[in-house]
Every structure is written in C-alpha cells, then in structure tokens.
Amino acid sequence: MPETSLPVRHLFTMAIDADMSSAARIKGGPAGSRMIVSVDSGTVTGERINGSIIGPSGDWLYRWADGSMHLDVRISIRTDDDADILMEYQGKITDDGTPRSAPTFQASMDGDYAWMNKIQAIGIGSFPEGKLVYEVYELL
C-alpha cells in the first residue's frame, strides 16, 4: 500500500541571498530560457548543522517551452566548525511559485558530516520578506 505521508526529520532552514539584478539571461535557447544566478551568501541553521553559504554557489534556472520552471542548484556550505559541504539539488517551481527541491550532499568521508553523504533530502521553499528560505528535511 502506498505511503500517505513521508517519514522525514527536519535537517535545517536555509536562507539564501541572491542578486537577481546581475543574473545572466539566455532567452529562447534549445532547452528553453535560462537564468544563471550567483548565490552570494546565506545561512544554514539546524539541530545537527549550522553554517554559512559561501561562493562559489549558484542556480542555473531554466524555463521549459511549456512554461514550467526547473531548478539546477549548487550551494557551498561552510559549517560553523569549518567543514565544507557541497549541496546539490534539482527541482521545480510550482504553479503558485513555490520552489520544491531534492537535495543531496557531498562532505568529507573522514569528517563529522560524513553522514550527509548517505541521505536524500527534500526542500520546500518560501519567500518571507522577499528572501528565499528553504525548510530542508531528511527522508528517513
């Protein structure tokens, strides 16, 4: 029988700062229109991980010919205890403008965050006060 709810645990809240005014825009390309946005900074706050978003980080967003929007994001996280983690995700922006994503992580196999290499996460975005904020959950 299919699950009626997903077993998840809150991993962190991520607030992203991105300067949309400096985004590169490629209109009408073979895969649709692209927008490449530099993610300049941000924060990651959770029970098991806290840190800052550092460069290089960015979003290679594209709009398909049918109008749907696709996320293609790489985020560099530097934890408060000085570990670097790569967060990659793809996803969609729903018809109501809500970002939905499927993050995975790459961390040092010998470090305190090696556990992140083995998880699949889901992210649900919102735009409080004009800033992009994701609630990121680990699928159990």
Residues 20, 23, 28, 30: is their CA dihedral positive or negative? negative
Look up the pTM and report it. 0.93
Scan for tokens 């109501």, then name that residue: 96
Q: Residue 113 is encoded by which pair of tokens?
A: 């965050």
The string of pLDDT tens digits covering residues 52-61 is 999 999 999 9
Is pLDDT above 90 for 2? no
Domains (ranges, CATH) in the chain?
Answer: 8-139 (2.40.160.20)
Please give the pLDDT value at position 94: 92
Is pLDDT above 90 for 131? no
